[in-house]
Amino acid sequence: MTVSKPPLDSLDVRLLAALRQQPRSGMLELSRQLGVARATAQARLQRLEDLGVVTGYGPDLDLPAAGYPVSAFVTLEIAQGALGEVARHLEGIPGVLEASATTGGGDVWCRLAAANMGELQATLLHLNRCPAIVRSTSVVALSEVVPYRYLPLLQAEERPVPSRTRRTS
């Protein structure tokens, strides 16, 4: 599956960075920070939403602070052709934060969270009740080394500067 990069220019990246730093900023404040007209900032944000680049505005959560300090990663080996069944099973388990089909030694990678080790064990047992899951291997995370991020990736590439905006660093 080949996915081409969406056409992000430097203004788009600056807008995303501003929203990441101050997600509750209004359009007027964003336009001031970016040095563009309010309509330009609004149009850019709408375009990013339409492209599916911006997918939501929910709050970021610190799961340990919210009462879920235990984090684990699970690799699943599944029966041939059973990805849909496994996906439906995983969606029904609240402690599964995310799951992805993968290459390599396993078929599906999951990230779990739990309030304590007993709850993690219960989640792992629930996970393994799916007949399509042949084997699971789990590891408990000790600490977060690099939190989820995307700005360094977007900012690492040289991007075109829109002709009607001033260049700022």
Query: Is pLDDT at 54 greater than 80 in this prediction?
Result: yes
User: Do 55 and 82 belong to one domain?
Assistant: no
Residue 168 lies in a domain: no
In degrees rounded to 5, what are phi and psi of residue 101? -70, 140
Domain boundary among 59, 80, 98: 59
Residue 123 lies in a domain: yes
Residue 149 lies in a domain: no
Q: How many structural domains comprise the chain?
A: 2
Residue 79 lies in a domain: yes
Q: How much is the pLDDT for 169?
A: 44
Q: With contact defined as beta carbons under 8 Å apart, do 75 and 106 qualify?
A: yes
- pLDDT mean across residues, the chain: 92
Query: pLDDT tens for residues 120-160?
Result: 999 999 999 999 999 999 999 999 999 999 999 999 988 88
Nearby residues of 94 by Cβ (< 8 Å), 6 or more positions away: none
Domain boundary among 39, 59, 79: 59
Q: What is the CATH number of the domain that holds 14?
A: 1.10.10.10
pTM, two decimals, is 0.82
User: Do 136 and 77 belong to one domain?
Assistant: yes
> Which residue type occupies 18?
A
If we measure between CA atoms, which residue out of 89, 2, 12, 3 comes closest to residue 47?
12
Residue 109 lies in a domain: yes
User: Do 55 and 85 belong to one domain?
Assistant: no
Domain extent at residue 129? 70-140
